[in-house]
Amino acid sequence: MAELTTLEEKLAEVLGLAQAAQKATEKVEGLVDDESIAENLRRMREEAEETERRCTEAADSRNGKKTAILEKAQETKGEATEMMDTYLGDDADGLDGLEFMTMAEAGEVGHWAVLQKLNEQAGEEQIAELTRWALPIQERHLSETKECALQLAGEKDPYEES
Ligand SMILES: [Fe+2]
C-alpha cells in the first residue's frame, strides 16, 4: 500500500467525512417532521455528494495514491458513522439529530480548515481550489444545522418528560 503524505491523509479524511455526512443527513432527516428542515438536510446531502465527487477527482490525480486515499477515507467514514450510531440511539429525536449534525459539521469545518492551512505550504492549485470551494459550504452547513437545532429547541416544552 502506497504511503500517504499528510496532505493526502487530510484529503482522505475530508472525503470520508463527506461520505459519512450523506448517511448522517439521511438518518437525521428520518428523525425530523419539519419539512423545511428536511429540505435543508436534503440540500446538505447533495452538497456532500458533490464534495465526495470533487475529493475523489483530486485523489484520482495523485499518482498511484488513489487506492490508499480511498481506503483511508473508508476508515474515517467508519469512525464517523460509529460515532453517529453511538450518539443517536433508538430513543433519539429530531433535536438530538440536529445536535449531532452540529458536531459533525463543526468537525468538517475544522478538517477543511486544516487541509487549507497545510496546503499554504504545499501550494497545490487543485487542493487550493477545492478548499476554497468546500470551506464556505461547510461553514454554512454548521450555521444552518445550529439554526435548525435552535428552531426545534424553541418549539420544545422544556418541562416535558424527556
Ligand atoms: Fe457538511
pLDDT tens across the length of the chain (162 residues): 679 999 999 999 999 999 999 999 999 999 999 999 999 999 999 999 999 999 999 999 998 999 999 999 999 999 999 999 999 999 999 999 999 999 999 999 999 999 999 999 999 999 999 999 999 999 999 999 999 999 999 999 999 987
| pTM summary value | 0.96
Query: 156 CA distance to ligand 1 centroid (A)?
Result: 25
Centre of ligand 1 from the C-alpha of residue 141, in Å: 5
Supply 126's cell numbers.
487543485
Gap from CA of 53 to ligand 1 centroid (Å) = 14
141 with 22: CB under 8 angstroms?
A: no
CA of 138 to the centre of ligand 1 (A): 5
Long-range contacts of 124-130 (CB under 8 A, 24+ apart): 124/7, 126/58, 126/61, 127/7, 127/11, 127/58, 130/54, 130/55, 130/58
